[in-house]
Amino acid sequence: MIDEVERGVADARSAQLGEGVAQARSRIAAAARDAGRDPSEVTLLVVTKYFPAADVVRLIDLGEREFGESREPEASRKMVEVTTARCEHFSADMIGRVQRKKAGSVARWARRVHSVDSAPLIDALSGAATRARDAGHRDDRLGVLLQVSLDGDPDRGGLVEADLAAAADRVLAAPDALTLDGLMLIAPLGLDPGEAMRQMADIRAGFVERYPDALELSAGMSGDLESAIANGSTCVRVGTAILGTRPILSL
């Protein structure tokens, strides 16, 4: 009886996640069409921070392959559990702020770091990615997205527009370890999301003109993905709308 109850709860969670994914993908497709874009241009990154590895496994079984994490060492432990449980290929990105002392552990599992915002962090990630490749933990370079700050708030992280070129050039100076993939935005508190995304679109246009291969724009979350897609986002980071507001730790 207990096994049947546990199985029923797990099945209910899978159904809940499946519904959340379907709704998120429907929103993405509608927003892309409204913007005159192909929905396939926008990646859904399912943000699984705080939630257990079991939820990531369920999402993989539902067909999802791209995930976002923001906490170490939680993310490292979770990726080991998921890899042990499922052989399907999947990717996980680091979307939270990275302490330099944790660059080594992040470089062992992350496909890409979305929140790069300083020269010391770039240097730390470059060295960590090189060591991770030498140790066999990864077989490719570590992707970098430079986090943009629209308000200059140091507590929220990010680089102001004037500092982006120097950071980008520093990433490009480590071609064996890092790739410059593009930009990332977390809309500032107190600024209308639509206005934030429009400002971001202008910054990105100038950035891509100078760095034409850095086309990724990670912008938009559960509450503002429509505005982000309308202004060119290529990756939306959706957690709450899919997994809910509180982790289910008992599953």
Average pLDDT along the chain: 93
Percent of the chain with pLDDT over 90: 88
43 touches 234 (CB < 8 A): yes
What number of residues does the chain have?
251
Instruction: Give dist(CA 50, CA 235) in Å, integer.
Output: 21
Per-residue pLDDT, 130 = 98
Output the CA angle 163-164-166, nearest 5 degrees.
75
pLDDT for 156-203, tens place per residue? Answer: 899 999 999 999 999 999 999 999 999 999 999 889 999 999 999 999
122 touches 171 (CB < 8 A): yes
Helix axes 53-61, 74-85, angle to 10 degrees: 40
Output the CA angle 53-233-219, nearest 5 degrees.
55
Helix (H) / strand (E) containing 78: helix 74-85
In b/e form, how buried is each residue of 106-119, taking b as 16+ CB within 10 angstroms?
Answer: bbbbbbbbbbbbbe
Per-residue pLDDT, 173 = 98
The model scores a pTM over 0.95:
no
What average pLDDT score do residues 82-101 get?
95
Cβ-based neighbours of 132, under 8 Å, separated by 6 or more: 104, 107, 108, 138, 142
Report cis status (omega within 30 of 0) of the bond before 247. Answer: no
Per-residue pLDDT, 7 = 61
- What 3-state class would DSSP assign to 11? helix
Q: Please, is 221 exposed, middle or buried when counting C-beta atoms within 10 Å of its C-beta (0-12, 13-18, 19+)?
A: buried
pLDDT bracket for residue 102 (50, 70, 90): very high
pLDDT at 250 over 70: no
Per-residue pLDDT, 179 = 98
Q: How far is CA 215 from the centre of its chain?
A: 15
